[in-house]
Amino acid sequence: MSIKNRTKIKEALNSTELNRTITVKGWVRTRRGNKKIAFIALNDGSTINNIQVVADVPSFPDELLRHITTGASVSVTGKLAPSVGSGQNVEIHAENIELYGSADPASYPLQKKGHSLEFLREIAHLRPRTNTFGAIFRIRHTMSYAIHKYFNDKGFFYLHTPIITGSDAEGAGEMFRVTTLDMMNPPRTEDGKINYREDFFGKETNLTVSGQLEGELGALALSDIYTFGPTFRAENSNTPRHLAEFWMIEPEMAFYDINDNMDLAEDFLKFLTEFALGHCYDDLLFLNNMYDKELLDRLKSVTSTDFKRITYTEAIDILSSSGVKFEFPNSWGSDLQSEHERYLVERHFKKPVIITGYPKDIKAFYMKQNDDGKTVRAMDVLFPRIGEIVGGSQREDELLKLETRIKELGLPEKDLKWYLDTRRFGSVPHSGFGLGFERMMLFITGMSNIRDVMPFPRTPKNAEF
């Protein structure tokens, strides 16, 4: 019989078909008991809940039970039965126990009692075995699936944009260099610079900071596309909201204006929140009880409220007439600070806010210019606790305006020829946005540090595991 044949603990706990013999496999969370009887809480990651294994101690060799300690991996065969004790509905009366791997209790880092999230970050290789991170990673999977389901059901196509890129046109941040050159002794040009013609791709290449520009190429052929892939920023950002390697979702839609764009972003965020509530309730309940007592209420409120939509100019007016003393005073033309965003979302409107019509000078070159000559059709979706969770815009589809803007900003027009071709040939109004997956995960799980929603986070000075 194949060793994979066993009942997942999630299925066993939900089973109504009792008094049958099953086999479960997993990792021991705790063991209690005395010389006559032992209670083993077993978890296999299929659910946050453990199954209780009851063992009649004299029936098993001392040598075996001695190794049934927190962290050990075992296979248990026995009768699934209604629990004699209270606290669980069913339990397994062990007939056979096989030890796969022991875990020395003196050196195994995970204990029965709570650990700090900071400590668990240092043992990221073992933290998936905790209740907290089991819950988070199950939710992370479910959200990934929900993203694909949402777009697939809407007729969007999943487009794979490049991870290695030769374009630095978006200027979204510092980039990681990709090279095969010998760093100790790189080839040089006659004037002493590094000669990238001899590099693997024959030019300077980097890890992508955004798939948007390539995403637009797809949208202007397939109508509606999305990307969902790893993204890299070499910024020296040390905050609970930034990673050097993160995952981003970037839908791009032909024949969408800024209002269609906002409608999609709001519907998408609500769908993901509802999907989490509907499919991860046990895990969310655990996080709600252990970390954030308002989590479930906050998630439910987002699904049932309309996001407030205001312009940048209106936002500035609200802030100036609020009477609140901000550390950084605001005036028309300067970007909103974190404290301003938090005021609008958490105190003034008390719901998600979408801000549009930003001054063109604080936004990217590709955003659609309004007729006032001052603002662009950008949109930022601001969430409670998180701040900016989505950034997007209607794109500039007029060739002349786009070329002029590129010249004003001194961007390398030559490197953007392929991008400008989409405006030269069959240009259409189109829009898109980017959602930081881990920022969405912060919102869904109620965690406060982005390093706790990524299995193996990469941050400045940290690439462990």
Residues 360-419 close enough to bind RNA by CB under 7 A:
387-391
Binding of RNA by 455 (CB under 7 A):
no
CB of 322 to RNA, least distance (A): 17
Residue 207 lies near RNA (rule: CB under 7 A)? no
Q: What is the distance, to the nearest Å, from the Cα of residue 258 to the centroid of all Cα atoms in its chain?
A: 25
Q: Cβ closer to RNA: 196 or 358?
A: 358
Q: Does residue 434 bind RNA (CB under 7 A)?
A: yes
**Is residue 119 part of the contact set for RNA (CB under 7 A)?**
yes
Q: Is residue 436 a contact residue for RNA (CB under 7 A)? A: yes
Determine, following the binding rule CB under 7 A, whether residue 92 of this chain makes contact with RNA. no
Size of site (CB under 7 A) for RNA: 71
Q: Which is nearer to RNA, 281 or 328 (CB)?
A: 328
For residue 29, the minimal CB distance to RNA (Å) is 8
Residue 83, interface with RNA (CB under 7 A)?
yes
Instruction: Show the tokens assigned to 121.
Output: 């970050």
Nearest-approach distance from CB 147 to RNA, in angstroms: 14
What span, in angstroms and rounded, lies between the C-alpha atoms of 37 and 136?
Answer: 34
Between CA 163 and CA 232 the distance in angstroms is 9
52 vs 199, beta carbon nearer RNA: 52
**Chain length of the chain:** 465
Nearest approach, Cβ of residue 383 and RNA (Å) = 10
Footprint of RNA on residues 10-39 (CB under 7 A)? 30, 32-37, 39
Q: Which is nearer to RNA, 123 or 181 (CB)?
A: 123
Whole-number Å distance between alpha carbons of 177 and 150: 34
What number of CA atoms fall less than 13 Å from residue 299's CA on the CB side? 25
Q: Does 114 bind RNA (CB under 7 A)?
A: yes
Using CB under 7 A, which of the segments 103-111, 161-169, 347-355, 418-426 binds RNA?
103-111
φ, ψ of residue 318 to 5 degrees: the values are: -60, -45
3-state DSSP of 2-37:
CCCCCCCHHHHHHCCCCCEEEEEEEEEEEEEECCCE
Compute the chain's Rg from CA coordinates: 27
CA–CA distances in Å: residue 78 to residues 11, 54, 75:
15, 9, 10
Rule CB under 7 A: choose which of 173, 202, 329, 333 binds RNA: 173
Pair of tokens at residue 419: 């991008």
CB 393 within 8 A of CB 377: yes
CB-based contacts of 64, cutoff 8 Å, min separation 6: 97, 99
Give the tokens for residue 238.
């040390």
Question: Among 422, 405, 326, which residue's Cα sits nearest to residue 368?
Answer: 405
- 347 is an interface residue for RNA by CB under 7 A: no
Q: Quick check: 144 binds RNA (CB under 7 A)?
A: no
Residue type, 175: M
Q: Hey, which residues between 120 and 139 contact RNA (CB under 7 A)?
A: 121
Where does this chain touch RNA (CB under 7 A) — which range of 101-109, 214-222, 260-268, 413-421? 101-109
Closest by Cα among 248, 268, 254, 170 to 426: 254
Q: Of residues 13, 24, 51, 54, which one binds RNA by CB under 7 A?
A: 54
Range 309-338, binding RNA (CB under 7 A):
328, 335, 337-338
- Min dist CB 387 to RNA, Å, is 5
Site membership for RNA, residue 291 (CB under 7 A): no
Pairwise CA distance, residues 446 & 136, whole Å: 10
Residue selected from 13, 74, 243, 402 as contacting RNA according to rule CB under 7 A: 243
Residue type, 67: H
- 344 interacts with RNA by CB under 7 A: no
235 makes contact with RNA (CB under 7 A): yes
**What phi and psi values does residue 127 have, to the nearest 5 degrees?**
-70, -20
Q: Which of 15, 49, 70, 77 binds RNA (CB under 7 A)?
A: 70
7, 46, 47, 52: which one binds RNA (CB under 7 A):
52
